[in-house]
Chains A and B, each alone.
Chain A
Amino acid sequence: MSAGAGRATATARTLAVLRKEVVDSLRDRRTLLVSLLTAAAAGPIFLLLIFNLIASQADRARELKLPAVGLEHAPALVAFLERQQVTLSAAPGDYEARLRTGDLDIVLVIDPDFAADVAAGKQATVRLVADHSRDRARSSIRQAETLLHAYNRQWGVQRLLLRGVAPTVGHPLNIEEQNLATAQSSGAIILFLVAFYGLLASVMGGMPVALDTTAGERERASLEPLLMTPARPLELVVGKWLAVAFFNALVVLVTLTGFYLTLTFAPLPAVGTPFLFGLREFARFIAVLVPIVLLMPAVLLYFGCRARTFKEAQANISLLMFVVSMIPAVQLFLQQKEPDWLVLLPISGQYTLLRLALRGEALPLAQLALSYVMPAILIAVALVTVARMLSREAILAGK
């Protein structure tokens, strides 16, 4: 047999394995349906949640609703607040309890002696009652504080002016705030979630097929007869790897299509999105995720073959999933400027590039190429390792 004919047979056998695994997995309708439905539904559900989050934050920022006690004692303050678009209302009697349960974010209490104190030239008192541990209330608290400080300053300035004193005497320091966050870079968390979800699809997508084709093969007692055929271990492994990668790619495509269709056609609340996801970003996501779509099946095959039983394989893979999905979370919470070499690290590199894509930036080609290097090496190592495992007689012992 010549080398060329040998290669042709090797390719034919590899393709036979690929074809069989794809047909076999496609026949497993229920598993397939669950994976694909989850992938398809996740995008819309997830985006809806994100949009509600953005919309409710935006609403809160726009108009401050301020329940108050003793409005009648300070008509000038009331007039000032109303000019600032604050909706004032009488607070219910049990407002403290309601603040604790979170029904109310904040309550303004005007001291009953307010008018009398002002008339006597004393400091008048207003109280802002809120639960500072509640994240949701934070923007309301800050807004109310700012408004009350502004009123305080304005009133003081007027008094000084009446006495012929320049306002700068009483306020030597002028504090200006400059917020550098743009609409697109402010939603770090949202960016994280979208990038993370895309990444997760490429990590998880091949799991059921990978398990079935390794640990399942052993559990079914079909591994030993398979190993007695002239198919070389590497041909079996490559065929199985391509089959798992095929299903992994399918899950990723369905997930991203779900994102895209939802963003394009669904009646989402009209709020400024802090990220972009059009066809261009779709393509960039694919370009970034290709190495993971190919790498994870190889890694999953390794774990599937290493385990003696289906259950052991599942336990190992769950641990792998946990570790892999923690990487972007760690990166998010470290909140540091990321070093350049991070792009070399699988998962981490892809996460970094996905966020760039979501910000609407072009992918730096050099970085993209670098992010392919490690996965390519790891794929080769994993496939050769699994092939060696299959050619060892110990693989039969765990039947």
Chain B
Amino acid sequence: MIRVDGLSKSFGRKTRVHAVRDVSFAAPDGQITGLLGPNGAGKTTLLRMLATLVLPDAGTASVADLDVVRDRYAVRERMGVLSDARGLYGRLTARENIRYYGALHGLSGAMLEARIDALVDRLGLAAVADRRTLGFSQGERMKVAIARALVHDPATIMLDEPTNGLDIMSVRALREQLRDLRAAGCCLLFSSHVMQEVAALCDRIVILGAGRVVAQGTAEELIEQSGADTLEDAFVSLLGTGEGLAA
């Protein structure tokens, strides 16, 4: 469960950029919550605050009832994040990349190896698991980054634009993974600027525009709220612009 209450963040001294303004929403367990908004809407800043890397100027947020400022390390132990930056260590194999993060999460020995094997198997990485990641394709790199984020079996998972640069096969495989995690009772928060992506996957949708929550609810609720016929029209009318919604 992720709870966000009145969260704000701005950057810069002379000309302040209000990246996130008074954002409130909740992402319940066993559901996929989509964070949808055009480029520059504040999605990455919001996720960084939830991932405890950036301190909010105002408001509070909690992950599994742990405050992201006060209990930041406890939050990190319970959360898996696929961030915007997802660089791997090219001279290490896929397995070694995953193992490093497992060790940093305090796992070791047979338990860690079993966990790595399970992830390699589930993400279809078996063929490349023992190769150095330097020559990996975009899709293979993404899978390793996801495995790395999930190595400690977190109950809360955040993914920042996870389908960026993936081909359609990889996107479908990723959706399967996320649905499995939802079925296992995880709380998933998924950010994207691609409407179709969010519509295909998410149970609940939070629309961000210029740092604020423009609307939130299920797809049906959003269509109803906007008085439009389709989800796409609903987005455009809620945001007041179609900018950034194209794939």
Binding site for B on A (CB under 8 A): 9, 12-13, 16-17, 19-20, 23-24, 27-28, 220-232, 393, 396, 399
Contacts and interface: CB of A to CB of B under 8 A. Distances in A.
A46 B211 CA distance: 63
A393 B54 contact: yes
Contacts of A23: 92, 96
Interface string B88-103: 1111100010001101
B121 to A, nearest CB: 22
B122 to A, nearest CB: 20
Contact of B83 (A12, A28, A224, A230): A224
B106 A12 contact: yes
10 contacts: A13-B103, A13-B104, A24-B92, A220-B88, A221-B87, A222-B87, A222-B88, A222-B89, A224-B83, A231-B104
B73 A393 contact: no
B150 interface: no
Interface in B48-75: 48, 51-55, 73
A228 B96 contact: no
Contact of B91 (A28, A227, A231): A28
Contacts of B73: 230, 232
Contacts of A224: 53, 83-85
B237 interface: no
A12 B103 contact: yes
Contact of B53 (A20, A221, A222, A393): A393
A228 B68 CA distance: 12
A16 B76 CA distance: 17
A219 to B, nearest CB: 8
A228 to B, nearest CB: 5
Given A225-B148, A230-B105, 19 more contacts: A12-B103, A17-B104, A24-B91, A24-B92, A27-B92, A221-B85, A221-B86, A223-B85, A223-B87, A224-B53, A228-B81, A229-B76, A230-B77, A230-B104, A231-B104, A232-B73, A393-B48, A393-B55, A396-B48
A396 B105 contact: no
A24 B92 CA distance: 6
A16 B100 contact: yes
B36 to A, nearest CB: 22
Nearest to B151: A229
B31 to A, nearest CB: 22
A221 B73 CA distance: 21
Contacts of B53: 224, 227-228, 393, 396
Interface in B172-201: none
A2 to B, nearest CB: 14
B105 A12 contact: no
A223 B87 CA distance: 8
Nearest to B100: A20
Contact of A222 (B84, B85, B104): B85
Nearest to A17: B104
A229 B53 CA distance: 10
Contacts of B91: 24, 27-28
A228 B63 CA distance: 14
B108 interface: yes
Contacts of A28: 91
B107 to A, nearest CB: 10
Contacts of A16: 100, 103-104
Nearest to A226: B104
B234 interface: no
Contact of B87 (A27, A225, A232): A225
B155 interface: no
Contact of B106 (A24, A226, A230): A230
Contacts of A232: 73
B145 interface: yes
B222 interface: no
A226 B83 CA distance: 10
A399 B86 CA distance: 11
A399 B73 CA distance: 22
A228 B83 contact: yes
B149 interface: yes
Contacts of A230: 73, 76-77, 104-106
A238 to B, nearest CB: 13
A222 B73 CA distance: 19
Contacts of B100: 16, 20
A24 B76 contact: no
A19 B53 CA distance: 25
A236 to B, nearest CB: 9
Contacts of B51: 228
Contact of B85 (A9, A12, A13, A399): A399
A229 B105 contact: yes
A230 B76 CA distance: 5
A86 to B, nearest CB: 66
Contacts of B92: 20, 23-24, 27
Contacts of B89: 20, 24, 220, 222
Interface in B88-134: 88-92, 96, 100-101, 103-106, 108, 132
A225 B88 CA distance: 9
B97 to A, nearest CB: 9
Contacts of A226: 104
